[in-house]
Structure formats: C-alpha cells, structure tokens
Amino acid sequence: MSEHQENSIVHAVEPLTDSFHRLTLHTPLIAAAAKPGQFVMVTCGPSLDPLLRRPFSIHRRIGAEQIQLLFKVVGRGTRLLSELRPGQALSLIGPLGRGFGPVLADSVCFVGGGIGIAPLLFLADRWHRSDQACTILLGSRTGDELTQLASEFEALGCRVETATDDGSLGHHGLVTDLLAPHLAHIRKVYVCGPHAMMATVAELCKTAQVACEASLEAHMACGLGACLGCTIHGADTLYKHVCKHGPVFNAEEVAWKR
C-alpha cells in the first residue's frame, strides 16, 4: 500500500505573499511514495475544530524525506497552518489520488492559475530531470503572487510566461490568452487552476487536438473514496470521485459544462 498516515514534523512555514504560504514537512514515508499531482489530507489544528482534514496538493518533494505544501489562507484550517512553528507535529494521510501521467518526451506546456500553480512545481521538477524543454504559463490576480514561483520554474529550466488580472506582471488579462500561440507546437498540456480556466484550456486543447490533463478540486470530507462527497460528472455521464478517480483527469473524461 502506498498510502500512509504519518505524523510529520514542521520544518518551516514561509510566507510567500500576504496570503500564500509554503509549509515544509518532514514526512519520510509520504515523501518516498509521492508522485506529482497527488495530494495529502491534513489535520490542520490540535483541537476538533476544524473537525475534518483538509486536502492539499503535494507542491514539491525536497530530498528523500520532506515535502512542501503551498497554500492560500481562505478559512480556519489554512489560518491554523499558517501559524504553525518549526518542530510542531502535523498528521497527514497520503499520498492520495491519481496524479499526473508520465510526461511525454517532447514539448509540453504547463498552465497554472492562482493557487492551482501548487502541484505544477513537483511536475516541472520531474520534467526537469528528463532534460526536456517546457513552457509554463502562470496566471494570478497580481504579480506579487507570481514573482518567486516564476523564478523557481525558471531555475528548473522552464520558459515562463505570466498573466495578471491587474496587469502588474506580464500579459494584462487571462492566462488562457497565452496558450493559443503554443498549441501548434506542443503535444500535451497539464493544467491546474480555477474550474472556468481549466474548462477553457480543455476546450482549446480539444479544438487543437492536443492532449490535456487537468487537476480538479472538490470539497472533500474524507479523501479516501468513502463519503462520496467529491462527485463530479464525467463526460460519459457517470459520476466520478475526485479523490479516487482524480484529482488528475484526462480533460476529455470531464463534463466541464455541467
């Protein structure tokens, strides 16, 4: 079995911006088994509030024994994570779900929007090890959310293009605007971000006959396939559970417009 329940130890909590934080955890069993696109269920606090674990993508693996999570503070659970201190313990279950498939051995494009950028650094790192070129398109509300992440993708050899809602970095507009010129030259797109953005990317890829994998989000109570709370509609009209069948799907498996 590759899933573990493990008491990790907080190594560092680093604020990247006002709301984005990066948490480094010593968690040898989960780190050893983790693949890009998989996630962990995290007990966010020492008490029963919040009661349920929260899902987070594995942002990066550091060495053999640590993983990082990149998270945005949106509620009580993520607030508690942002207040952790080195040496504290944190219970994790993972790695969970179906991650990204094997990367193709020629040109690909990664597309990340907002906190959806989180799982793409782990994927880009795997890609980097294969010595192939890649492009990453990063979108966010403002440039300050992208600056550090963009430099980390560049350090992995990725060509980075950015788009921001307020025009403070790169293209003033949607990250999906940046994709069209690339579609004639690439074989596959890997995307994670807001649902509407991924639906647009899926549509553009379908029209251009480019393969696309998308990492979806849903409210998750268990992360283990037990509560059936993370249901989405599949293109085949059958229900799919994001925690078990995903979170990464081939874009054509998903009914994007339901």
Ligand X SMILES: Cc1cc2nc3c(=O)[nH]c(=O)nc-3n(C[C@H](O)[C@H](O)[C@H](O)COP(=O)(O)OP(=O)(O)OC[C@H]3O[C@@H](n4cnc5c(N)ncnc54)[C@H](O)[C@@H]3O)c2cc1C
Chain residues that interact with ligand X, rule: CB under 6 A = 39, 50, 54-57, 70-72, 74-78, 115, 118, 217-220, 247
Cα gap 238→232, rounded to integer Å: 9
Q: Does 52 interact with ligand FES (rule: CB under 6 A)?
A: no
Nearer to ligand FES, 74 or 228 (CB): 228
Number of H helices, E strands in the chain: 6, 16
Kindly report the number of other CB atoms within 10 A of residue 258's CB atom.
9
Residue number with the shortest CB distance to ligand X?
75
The residue type found at 36 is P
Partner from ligand X, ligand FES, none contacting 226, C-beta within 5 to 8 A by type = ligand FES
Partner from ligand X, ligand FES, none contacting 77, C-beta within 5 to 8 A by type = ligand X
DSSP 42-95: E--SSSSSS-S-EEEE--EEETTTEEEEEEE--SHHHHHHHT--TT-EEEEEEE
Helices (H), the chain: 28-33, 76-82, 120-129, 147-155, 195-208, 242-245
Nearer to ligand X, 177 or 194 (CB): 194
- DSSP-derived pairing of the beta strands 248-250 and 211-215: antiparallel
Are 178 and 169 in contact by the 8 Å Cβ rule? The answer is no
Partner from ligand FES, ligand X, none contacting 58, C-beta within 5 to 8 A by type = none
Binding span for ligand FES by CB under 6 A among 42-50, 116-124, 156-164, 214-222: 214-222
Cα gap 232→71, rounded to integer Å: 23
Partner from ligand X, ligand FES, none contacting 112, C-beta within 5 to 8 A by type = none
Partner from ligand X, ligand FES, none contacting 174, C-beta within 5 to 8 A by type = none
Nearer to ligand X, 12 or 208 (CB): 12
Nearer to ligand FES, 143 or 229 (CB): 229
Min dist CB 86 to ligand X, Å, is 20
Nearer to ligand FES, 46 or 225 (CB): 225
Provide the token pair at 172: 């003033």
Nearer to ligand X, 193 or 247 (CB): 247
Q: Compute the 3-state secondary structure of the chain and give helix, strand, coil in percent, each to the nearest 5.
A: 25, 35, 40
Min dist CB 75 to ligand X, Å, is 2
Min dist CB 70 to ligand X, Å, is 6
Nearer to ligand X, 50 or 143 (CB): 50
SS3 at position 155: helix
Binding mask 219-238 for ligand FES (x = CB under 6 A): -xxxx-xxxxxx--------
SS3 at position 169: coil
Cα gap 154→159, rounded to integer Å: 6
Residues in contact with ligand FES by the rule CB under 6 A: 220-223, 225-230, 241, 243
